[in-house]
């Protein structure tokens, strides 16, 4: 093997190793967060975030103001999109995040039915968030895509870490 060919191979190896297939996860180091979860809490290693599991029916009865946000997981999206919950999201003083949902529309629209067309698929957002603003009667929304549009444990953790950073910014 020639020296020139070896140099090219070394350069290509360095270049390929720089193209990472996983997100560069920065740990959440913001303020302490208390989050209600409808479904299984996410597996994210951080001491600053505490999760409390709620059923979907508790969203209307539970005092949500003691939380920074509510996360609703994939298994609960169809129930969460029922018209009777639309006012809960529209009148809440804390944000709601819907995981594995490509849009917030079926959750805030009383006449929009949830179906598989609203679920995540490559090229769409993986999680969406909504927060009603009483000041100007508007709705603040967030969309979080998956790293490289791939459904992996690392890319899902990355989405949650970005949600936590959003919540930390809202607290400031």
Residuewise pLDDT in 10s, the chain (172 residues): 555 654 454 444 444 444 556 667 788 889 999 999 999 999 888 889 999 999 998 887 567 889 999 999 999 998 988 888 888 888 888 999 999 887 776 667 666 665 565 564 666 788 999 998 777 678 898 999 998 888 899 999 999 999 999 999 998 8
The residues near 148 (Cβ < 8 Å, ≥ 6 apart) are 21, 155
Give the chain's domain count.
Answer: 1
Residue 137: predicted pLDDT: 75
Residue 26: predicted pLDDT: 81
For residue 43, give its domain range: 3-171
Rg (CA), the chain: 20
Q: What's the longest Cα–Cα distance across the chain?
A: 74
Q: H/E element holding 142? A: strand 138-144
Number of helices (H), then strands (E), belonging to the chain: the values are: 6, 6
Please provide residue 140's backbone torsions phi and psi, each rounded to the nearest 5 degrees.
-90, 135
d(CA 102, CA 95): 16
Residue 157: predicted pLDDT: 94
Residue 112: predicted pLDDT: 61
Predicted TM-score (pTM) of this structure = 0.81
Residue 15: predicted pLDDT: 43
Residue 39: predicted pLDDT: 94
């Amino acid at each position: 093997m020639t020296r020139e060919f070896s140099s090219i191979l070394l350069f290509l190896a360095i270049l390929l190793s720089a193209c990472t297939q996983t997100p560069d996860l920065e740990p959440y180091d913001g303020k302490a967060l208390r989050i209600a979860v409808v479904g299984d809490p996410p597996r994210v290693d951080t001491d600053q975030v505490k999760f409390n599991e709620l059923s979907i029916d508790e969203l209307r009865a539970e005092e949500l103001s003691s939380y920074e946000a509510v996360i609703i997981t994939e298994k609960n999206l169809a129930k969460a999109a029922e018209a009777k919950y639309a006012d809960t999201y529209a009148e809440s003083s804390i944000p709601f995040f819907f995981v594995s949902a490509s849009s917030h529309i079926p959750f805030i629209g009383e006449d929009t039915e949830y179906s598989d067309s609203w679920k995540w698929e490559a090229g769409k957002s993986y999680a969406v968030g909504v927060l009603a603003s009483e000041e100007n009667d508007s709705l603040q929304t967030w969309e979080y895509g998956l790293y490289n549009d791939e459904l992996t444990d690392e890319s899902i953790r990355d989405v949650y870490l970005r949600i936590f950073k959003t919540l930390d910014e809202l607290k400031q």
